[in-house]
Amino acid sequence: MKEQTYFQENREKHLAELNEWLSIPSISALSAHKEDINRAAQWAADALTRAGMENVEVIPTAGHPIVYADHLHAPGKPTALIYGHYDVQPVDPLNLWETPPFEPTVRDGKLFARGATDDKGQIFIHIKAVEALLAENKELPVNVKFCIEGEEEISSPNLPIYLNDNTDKLRADMVLISDTSLLEKGKPAISTGLRGLCSLEVDLNTANTDLHSGSFGGGVPNALHALVTLLASLHDEQGRVSVDGFYDGVLPLSPEMREEFVKQGFNEEQLRQDLGLEQLYGEEGYSFVERVGARPTLELNGVWGGFQGEGTKTVIPKEAHAKITCRLVADQDPQHVLDRIEAHLRAHVQPGATLDIKQIEKAFAFNTDPSNPFLQKAADAYEQVYGVRALFTKDGGSIPIVEKLSRVLGIPAVMMGFGLPDENLHAPNEHFNLENFDKGLLTIVQFLKSL
């Protein structure tokens, strides 16, 4: 593959360019970094221009800019829409970083920086793959469009608006995304499903003031008691969610899909030991990888109330609070799930307590058919480079915009990730294994050529 020589000869230059991009603190969640976001968007646009892409734009939105580019000179050939994001997560806690998060550093063959694997490093692979194809062949084997946003880490509030207004502009035969991981080193995977998401906050109130436990204990409702009892009613003893209607739209796992999970060869005992647990826990009848990849969940993310300072304070608290998130699968409707949870909470709340429930996030699950020819060619491309054909998996995480892109454009999503599960995305010391940077370049070139 002549592109391989191009990558070898330009490797240090390419990594220096990536380091420039990683040095920009494009944290979408923090308004103080608005200018950094704009700089990161312009950097992406300039990189696409240098790569040989055309019609490059930095498109303003009500939030952060979208970067678009295309190269449409392959009549009769498929069109690939390449999606990625240039925004990154906050870096807290900063003291746990071994080197500063926006000063890229290579250690042990790994590039450490915020955004290294999520997602600047991975979308950069696509930019350089296109550059190599154009440099070596003066043309692309297919038509290519790029859509790189700056709000993925804050649930992509403005890209769906742009997508709805520019459906024809973004029209393609598939959307190609690298924002996921291999199963483990040398073991590639193609995600055929991402779980959806919904969330809510619960405030429970009793009396109009905290009360002395000696004077009132046993005679008035205790907000903490009421809340923990209420939250405990959300699951049964078998780990299933007890909310009536929660499983509406959940499809049984097919024998073929369960076999794909078995092929992963996941070591549950090793995980238990690594996490220092007495045992794993979850819905009966399913393995760990099935529970986190293909079954819905309801999790408590925060529960608080009452006195939490040093020592003892004999108080009956007047309020208690909880944050709840659900991961959704198949055809679950996030609004329906939220409504059913709210109905359950209101029906089971202890007398004397009142609830204020705020529904927040809503995102559908994403699923695609692994027999789709584009996904099969992607698995073949991995095999050409890694020597191992990619397995088809379902991921427990959520990337809400993937479902929207696939549904609105009516095209399959091909999720070709090159990260590794232990690369600390969203955590201190995020990094990207450069072995997969190198192999990722070759895999994307091979895939585009195969189309």
Per residue in 355-387, pLDDT (tens digit) is 999 999 999 999 999 999 999 999 999 999 999
- Segment 218-235, tens digit of pLDDT: 999 999 999 999 999 999
Selection from 417, 396, 187 nearest residue 290 by Cα = 396
> Which is nearest to 271 in space by CA: 421, 396, 394?
421
pLDDT digits (tens, 9 = 90+) for 105-124: 999 999 999 999 999 999 99
pLDDT at 260: 85
pLDDT at 180: 94
Which pLDDT band holds residue 342 (cuts at 50, 70, 90)? very high
As a dihedral over the C-alpha atoms of residue 160, residue 164, residue 169, residue 175, rounded to 10 degrees, the angle is 50
Mean pLDDT of 90-98: 97
- More confident: 397 or 317: 317
Give the C-alpha separation, 148 to 85, whole Å: 5
3-state secondary structure of 88: strand
The pLDDT of residue 355 is 98
The two three-digit tokens of residue 82, written as one number: 């390449």
**In this predicted structure, what is the pLDDT of residue 343?**
98
- Can you tell me the distance from the alpha carbon of 73 to that of 356, in angstroms, rounded to the nearest whole number? 56
What whole-number percentage of the chain has pLDDT above 90? 95
Report field, pTM of the whole predicted structure over 0.85: yes
The 10s digit of each residue's pLDDT in 134-148 is: 999 999 999 999 999
Q: What is the pLDDT of residue 399?
A: 87
Q: Does residue 208 have a pLDDT over 90?
A: yes
Distance CA 254, CA 233 (A): 30
> At 256, is the pLDDT very low, low, confident or very high (cuts 50, 70, 90)?
confident
The arithmetic mean of pLDDT across residues 124-129, rounded, is: 98
Tell me what pLDDT residue 257 has.
85
Give the integer Cα–Cα distance in Å for 425 and 406: 24
The answer, yes or no, to whether residue 397 has pLDDT greater than 90, is no
Would you place residue 400 in the very low, low, confident or very high pLDDT band (cuts 50, 70, 90)? confident
pLDDT of res. 155: 87
